[in-house]
């Protein structure tokens, strides 16, 4: 407790009832209320002495947060620049590209197929529930085709692979970082970006569309089976709906989105892994950050491509 506040409180609390009553009687009510408010403020300052210090340090904390955010953007920009710079060094990353393509892409195809299998069933049921007898039955095929190829197959598969691929990359590179294996590569005159980052980013960029293409096919097939056996939409009607409004743009739109998702997930996983600190706990934190940031970036890119490609475009 501050000495001045303590003395003031002692004087105020030590006053006798007679003197208090005299003060109330002799002085105006506004004077008494003012002194009472002052005593309450002294009590508040004595019980919560950290409040003024919090207010005084708030600009400093805000400035520190802004500075750290700008530093993070700068580090990420330098990371992307170094990755692009290392791409021409094909002699370093080419021997490892096929391995990462298999690990990140081929091994992820069952995940995309599993997701699309049930997504197609749900979409067929929802399409029939939403339109019912209001429109011809072939619109079930139209809704399933448009939704699977343009949105759900790329986004749901991308979110699932963000957990598998992003965490995998961050954990691998994070472990190499905390065990000083990356320092050993630099000692042996290997460029860590060309040796570790570029093959993973290229594999993610090229293989995500492959996984999404498989998910599109399986989603359409499962939607057709659900429409045929659960909704009683004949095969001819379902195929008519798929073909009636099908555009080559639908597939291209979904595949380009998925390629951008693969690039973002791979870059974020590599960045998180190479910046891991503090042993096993740091590696776990890097993997968690990679998954969370990758999921957010997928949604941001999804909105970006919708604004860029779908603004002003309609079916004709």
Per-residue model confidence as pLDDT tens for the chain (316 residues): 444 444 444 444 444 444 444 344 444 555 544 555 455 554 554 554 555 566 667 778 788 888 888 888 888 889 999 999 999 988 889 998 999 999 888 999 999 999 999 999 999 999 888 876 777 888 899 999 999 999 999 999 999 999 999 999 999 999 999 988 998 988 888 889 999 999 999 999 999 999 999 999 999 999 999 999 998 889 999 999 899 888 899 999 999 999 999 999 999 999 999 998 888 888 999 999 999 999 999 999 999 999 999 887 776 6
pTM of the shown model: 0.77
**Which residue in this structure is represented by tokens 């998702």?**
261
- Distances in Å between the Cα of 22 and the Cα atoms of 18, 27, 35 are 6, 8, 14
| Ranges of each domain in the chain | 3-48, 92-310
**What is the C-alpha to C-alpha distance for residues 227 and 195, in angstroms, rounded to an integer?**
48
**What is the C-alpha to C-alpha distance for residues 282 and 177, in angstroms, rounded to an integer?**
10
Please give the sequence-ordered ranges of beta strands (E in DSSP) within the chain, or none if there are none. Answer: none
Please tell me whether residue 210 adopts helix, strand or coil conformation. Answer: helix
**What is the C-alpha to C-alpha distance for residues 316 and 305, in angstroms, rounded to an integer?**
20
**What is the C-alpha to C-alpha distance for residues 315 and 313, in angstroms, rounded to an integer?**
7
- For 112, residues 6+ apart whose C-beta sits below 8 A from its C-beta are 153, 157, 160, 161, 211, 212, 214, 215, 218
Task: State residue 315's pLDDT score.
Answer: 66
Task: State residue 54's pLDDT score.
Answer: 64
**What is the C-alpha to C-alpha distance for residues 291 and 204, in angstroms, rounded to an integer?**
15
Task: State residue 136's pLDDT score.
Answer: 84
Task: State residue 15's pLDDT score.
Answer: 43
CA-based torsion, 273, 276, 279, 280: positive or negative: negative
C-beta of residue 155 within 8 angstroms of C-beta of residue 298:
yes
Task: State residue 137's pLDDT score.
Answer: 84
């Amino acid at each position: 407790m501050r000495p001045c506040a303590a003395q003031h409180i002692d004087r105020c609390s030590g006053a006798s009832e007679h003197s208090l009553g005299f003060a109330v009687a002799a002085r105006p009510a506004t004077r008494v209320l003012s002194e009472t408010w002052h005593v309450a403020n002294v009590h508040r300052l004595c019980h919560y002495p950290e409040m003024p210090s919090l207010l005084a340090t708030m600009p400093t904390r805000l400035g520190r947060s802004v500075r750290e955010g700008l530093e993070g953007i700068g580090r990420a920009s330098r990371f992307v620049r170094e990755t692009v710079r290392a791409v021409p060094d094909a002699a370093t990353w080419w021997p490892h590209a096929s391995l990462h393509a298999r690990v990140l892409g081929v091994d992820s195809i069952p995940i995309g197929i599993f997701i699309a299998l049930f997504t197609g069933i749900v979409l067929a049921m929802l399409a029939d529930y939403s339109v019912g007898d209001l429109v011809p039955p072939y619109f079930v095929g139209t809704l399933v085709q448009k939704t699977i190829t343009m949105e759900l197959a790329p986004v749901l598969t991308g979110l699932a692979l963000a957990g598998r691929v992003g965490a995998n990359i961050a954990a691998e590179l994070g472990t190499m970082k905390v065990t000083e294996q990356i320092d050993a590569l630099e000692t042996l005159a290997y460029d860590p970006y060309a040796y570790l980052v570029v093959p993973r980013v290229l594999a993610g960029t090229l293989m995500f569309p492959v996984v999404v293409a498989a998910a599109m096919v399986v989603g359409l097939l499962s939607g057709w089976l659900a429409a045929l056996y659960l909704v009683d939409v004949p095969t001819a009607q379902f195929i008519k709906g798929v073909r009636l409004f099908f555009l080559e743009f639908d597939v291209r739109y979904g595949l380009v989105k998925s390629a951008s998702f693969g690039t973002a997930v791979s870059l974020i996983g590599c960045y998180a892994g190479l910046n891991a600190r503090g042993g096993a706990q740091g590696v776990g934190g890097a993997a968690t950050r990679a998954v969370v940031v990758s999921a957010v970036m997928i949604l941001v890119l999804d909105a970006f491509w919708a604004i860029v490609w779908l603004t002003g475009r309609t079916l004709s």
